Structure 1
Amino acid sequence: MTGLRIIFMGTPEFACPTLRTLIDRGENVVAVVTQPDRPKGRGQQTLPPPVKVLAEEHGIKVLQPVKVRLPESIEEIRALEPDLIVVIAFGQILPKALLEIPKYGCINVHASLLPRYRGAAPLNWCIINGESETGVTTMMMDVGLDTGDMLLKSATPIDPDEDTQSLHDRMSKLGAELLAETLDRLVAGELVPEKQDDSLTCYAPIMKKEDGLIDWQKSARDIKNQVRGMTPWPGAFSYLDDKLLKVYKVQTATGTGVPGTVLAASRDGIEVACGEGSLLISELQLEGKKRMAAGDFLAGYKVQAGLALGRKDAAVGV
């Protein structure tokens, strides 16, 4: 426990382990700032952010400004007299006026090894780009996008079959552990901020649904990385008989053929030719159906060699 008055700013499930760590350490979390409740899912039911749910379970004051840069939002935070603001996956850019409020500044827990992968979706893009290692970085926030001085880092390998969901779960815990160490070193006066080398950076923009469209002209390895990086959201997809086909699990293979063409279909999966090599689809979901193993899918659909994916005239038999 540091004895500091801390405001926590975060929104999704990824931020919850860090908030839980602050609570378990007995830190004085005077308020949580999170995004407003929003409609979610097919039913568009208005639901609170996961961070809000956790905060309310522990009786912590919750603020949900539509825009944290509004003067009234800044003054509400200033009135709480925080010594430190901890930020992780909050979802809004903090203005200079807010960054200057706490005595010890604003510390961000960012899900990459900065200066690599600045931006909103570092977990997705490090997998899509085929990285074998990533990690978390704690940094002092400034007015730029993830450009502040770095404090501590913790690296972790990425398994070649790991998807974003699995990496998300591991990294959220890693971030919580690193923030705890950062706080301990802060109060001990042991932190040595390090400037980022901008020449080493790359950008990880927010994911869009259209990013999931599979281009079968690409190599099997690149498409596998895309599928991993897009799972669970926004999801990698192609088309089968003019229907959306979501692809969840794949393995690379060595088959050859016209890109996008089915080479074979069996209980092991559906093998599709790529620009280089082939891809064995083992888990998928056809529009209007549930997610299932390829073997179960093939029990209800006839998929034969020569069938083309990703074309409106592709055919599939029932």
Structure 2
Amino acid sequence: MSLRLVFMGTPDFAVPTLAALVEAEHRIEAVYTRAPRPAGRGMAERKTPVHQAAELFGLPVLTPCSLKDGDAQETFRAHKADAAVVVAYGLLLPKPVLDAPRDGCFNLHASLLPRWRGAAPINRAIMAGDGQTGVAIMKMDEGLDTGAVALTERVDIRPDETAGELHDRLSRLGAPLMARAMRRLEDGELEAEPQPEDGVVYAQKLTNEETAVDWTRPARDVHNQIRGLSPFPGAWCSLDLGKGPERLKLIRTSLESAGGEPGTLLDGDGRVACGEGAVRLVTVQRAGKGPMAFGDFARGARLQPGARFL
């Protein structure tokens, strides 16, 4: 026995879940993903990671720009799916689509709901200094991540872990959890509990205004900002290397107990003073360059203690 599924996802985060469902031998009737977009220097159209994975598995792929029109909804209903699995798809699912599968639509969300509903749960958890997060399997409704939760898996957030690293861990954690949920659904044993009203926090989209580092803030806040935005979109500061201010992207840091005038480079090891405490710059990136160890950057830029980061 196996379920008839529609899979809906777009980025790398969703690929392990698709692979887990294929491995579990469910019948994937169709894979929905975002349409190819121009990318790279040649601006050639690039298929999404889910699109590429689906083709490797020999699965049919659909890339509608919207699911709001009647034709798209009729096409979706025609799959006669038992359930739809949704992982970072990127398009709104209107009620006719949510209601089409026999057993509903199930979303893998990268937080412990109801905390961090919304667009950027991984980044927001780190930036807020959360000690734990996880993944949740939610039966979708018309609200923003408000559906009943069937399964969760909890993990500790490591002290220096970046959003990119946590993203990859949660992606790997969520895939077998979704496979387990679908197995329970097939056996008629999947139960979902409504989310509590207490503890709701929204993970708003990241904005450009949040990426500039303010060295007058406590070191822990600066450290969480940097790792919560790493590798994308990336926190940054400015540094004058003799030709005017240059933007420096900050990829990896650690917390230090040193202190001084906020924004001042304290030593050759990359310690920079904050409003309270200091952070050590471990990995940085100059405009147009790849990431590099701070020591290599400092030697190339002839940076000396006392330099000011703006």
Q: Shared fold (TM-score greater than 0.5)?
A: yes
The one-letter code of the counterpart of 1:222 is D
- Ranges in structure 2 where 5+ consecutive residues have no aligned partner: none
The one-letter code of the counterpart of 2:239 is L
Query: RMSD between aligned alpha carbons?
Result: 1.4
For 2:81 and 2:94, the matched residues in 1 are separated by 16
For 1:58 and 1:88, the matched residues in 2 are separated by 17
Please tell me whether residue 288 in structure 1 is matched to residue 288 in structure 2. yes
**Per-residue deviation, 1:43:** 4.8
Please tell me whether residue 244 in structure 1 is matched to residue 243 in structure 2. no
TM-score normalised per structure 2: 0.95
The one-letter code of the counterpart of 2:136 is T
Please give the per-residue CA displacement for 1:108-140, whole angstroms capped at 9, x wherever unaligned. 111111111101111111111111111111011
**Per-residue deviation, 1:289:** 3.1
How do residues 118-137 of structure 1 correspond to structure 2 at under 5 angstroms? 118-137=117-136
Counterpart contact for 1:7–1:31, Cα < 8 Å: yes
- Per the alignment, residue 304 of structure 2 pairs with 304
- Per the alignment, residue 220 of structure 2 pairs with 221
Counterpart contact for 1:117–1:204, Cα < 8 Å: yes
The one-letter code of the counterpart of 2:137 is T
Counterpart contact for 2:2–2:186, Cα < 8 Å: no
**Per-residue deviation, 1:210:** 3.5
- Per the alignment, residue 15 of structure 1 pairs with 14
The one-letter code of the counterpart of 2:247 is L
Counterpart contact for 2:225–2:235, Cα < 8 Å: yes
The one-letter code of the counterpart of 1:200 is G
Q: Secondary structure at the match of 1:258?
A: coil
Please give the per-residue CA displacement for 1:24-48, whole angstroms capped at 9, x wherever unaligned. 1111000000011112345543210
The one-letter code of the counterpart of 1:80 is H
For 1:192 and 1:58, the matched residues in 2 are separated by 30
Q: Secondary structure at the match of 1:263?
A: coil
For 1:183 and 1:92, the matched residues in 2 are separated by 22
**Per-residue deviation, 1:260:** 1.3
The one-letter code of the counterpart of 2:301 is Y
Please give the per-residue CA displacement for 1:141-164, whole angstroms capped at 9, x wherever unaligned. 000010001111111111111111
Total equivalences in the alignment: 306
Counterpart contact for 2:239–2:309, Cα < 8 Å: yes
Please tell me whether residue 260 in structure 1 is matched to residue 260 in structure 2. no
Q: Secondary structure at the match of 1:185?
A: helix
**Per-residue deviation, 1:287:** 2.0
For 2:7 and 2:55, the matched residues in 1 are separated by 13
- Ranges in structure 1 where 5+ consecutive residues have no aligned partner: 311-318
How do residues 1-318 of structure 1 correspond to structure 2 at under 5 angstroms? 2-41=1-40, 43-241=42-240, 242-264=245-267, 266=268, 269-310=269-310
Q: Secondary structure at the match of 2:117?
A: coil
